[in-house]
Structure 1
Amino acid sequence: MKVLQSSMKYSWLLLLFWNPAHTPDCSAVVATEVSGLFRSQSSLLDLNPPVHLSQLRHALSGQTTGTYKGRTIAPVMSAAGADWLTREDRERNEQPEKVLDALNIREGMTVADIGAGVGYFSLRLARRVSNNGRVLAVDVQSEMLELLKKNMEKQRVSNIDLIQGSPVDPHLPENSVDLALLVDVYHEFQTPEEMMSRIRSSLKSDGRLVLIEYRGEDPNVPIKPEHKMTVKQVLFEIEPMGFRLKETLEFLPWQHIFIFVRD
């Protein structure tokens, strides 16, 4: 949650040469940082020194955040671009109410919306689960959660819990979630195995994991390649993490819907 107070150039040199390969303790580097600079990226950074430094290097350079199983990990969308989450054509393309119908979201359920952003799905989920259900809205950016809080107040919604996660932990209670929903977010996980392990632990024994991802097989989907995933790649990554594919839904014009259960 911090960034270096020195110049951009000096920060890059420091990060480039002072890393786990050169010293076992990076805490001295982290300790030289101050909050407030690069605010849109700062809330994405983990406090674990080696992970923190790697993330900061990418934030300073504007690069993506590495690779996982042959796939480029996409950068997390900054809160500065939050308006894109409520763009006019999103409802036509993503059909959120139809998606929630297909997922059989019911009154009384506990649903985790991971990568909740400004609450595009969280607010709809809250109405579906009603007052005797809960929505656990997780985001790594405090700015996104502040925007979601304002939207909750506008719509007088009170059954959403705001949770600030980290790149390695969504901070969900164990064995408590009926359905974990990840809409266009899994491909941005900087530490997929750590995140998915914790998400799996949060699910009830009969809980479901739902991933919605833009189709990587379709070159006509107007999204950058690192923000799309193929069916093959999703199964290659998710199934070894202790999940079994139950169903794939293909009624959306641009996106796959994957429904997994615990294996």
Structure 2
Amino acid sequence: MTSVRSFLILFMGSVFGLQAQYTESDWEERDQWMKTNAVLSMTAVGSGDKVADIGCHEGYLSIHLARKVSESGRVFAVDIREDRLQKLRANAHDRNLGNIITILGETDNPKLPEGDLDAVFIFDTYHEMDAHEEILQHVKRALKPGGQLMIMEKLKDWVRGKSREQQVSSHSLGPEYVREELKQAGFTIISEIEDHGDWERETDKQMWIILAEKSD
């Protein structure tokens, strides 16, 4: 990702979701408004699978995934900030989860194993990826044939219908841009939710989800 712009502002600084992911004290509430279990049930992920969480922050989604794939599976948790990964490892240790592998990625490369993954998740981070084209190609190479990619984002009302650049500058992104970028990268969209509810229960921030599959 050539410059993740200062996110997964998934969460804080801008890099891979550094801004929007929460600390551990927020996780239980997030389960409710994000409907996390329902979201993960949209995918084919199950016991023994290998998956990746790009923009993992302190491990909210990675820990959910670790339980879903069970001890026989693997979760590759990627962030570009080592301090976040250190916190994730502590959170996983506290929960006796030994199937999470942390990866210190780069802004244009999540450094995932090639041809080995069943699914990749990018939650509230894609909008921070300036090098989204390169990242999608890395994701595609990491997935097995038929592997899935799920992207979740939020669209803020005040940038709805605006240019991609305007939306990204507000840490937001509409599905119309991502839909085309996925198709151009060689993915087939298999499911969409245009309105998954309100991000953090704020009615001016609408969550959406796209589930895609590696085409070749």
Give TM-score scaled by structure 1 length: 0.66
Instruction: Find out whether 1:144 has 2:84 as its counterpart.
Output: yes
Question: CA offset at residue 122 of structure 1?
Answer: 0.6
Q: Secondary structure at the match of 1:229?
A: coil
Task: Tell me which of 84, 87, 95 is aligned to 1:155.
Answer: 95
Q: Equivalent of 1:238, from 182, 193, 206?
A: 182
Q: 2:191 aligns with which of 237, 247, 250?
A: 247
Q: What SS does the aligned partner of 2:141 have? A: helix
- Bigger radius of gyration among the two: 1
CA-to-partner distance for each residue in 1:33-63, whole Å, 9 max, x for gaps? xxxxxxxxxxxxx9xxxx6xxx69x76xxxx
| Contact preservation (8 Å) 2:16, 2:56 | no
- How many residue pairs are counted as aligned between the two chains? 195
How many angstroms apart in 2 are the aligned matches of 1:247 and 1:224? 23
The corresponding residue for 1:259 is 211
Describe how 1:47-126 pairs up with structure 2 within 5 A. 75-76=14-15, 83=22, 86-87=25-26, 89-126=29-66
Equivalent pair of 1:93/1:252 in contact (CA under 8 Å): no
Contact 2:15 2:80 in 1 (8 A): no
Q: Percent identity?
A: 29
- In structure 2, how many angstroms separate the alpha carbons of the residues matched to 1:81 and 1:132? 30
Is the partner of 1:175 in helix, strand or coil?
coil
RMSD of aligned residue pairs (Cα, Å) = 3.0
Letter of the aligned partner of 1:139 in structure 2? D
Shift of 1:75: 3.5
SS at match of 2:170: helix
Partner of 1:14: none
Alpha carbons of 1:197 and 1:95: their partners in 2 closer, same or farther (altered >3 Å)?
same
Q: Distance in 2 between matches of 1:225 and 1:96?
A: 26
Unaligned runs of 5+ in 2: 8-12, 161-166, 199-206
Match of 2:129 among 189, 193, 198: 189
Q: Give the structure 1 partner of residue 69 of structure 2.
A: 129
Structure 1, unmatched stretches of 5+, are: 1-45, 65-73
- Is the Cα contact below 8 Å between 2:127 and 2:168 reproduced in 1? no
Name the CA distance, whole Å, in 2 between partners of 1:117 and 1:91.
16
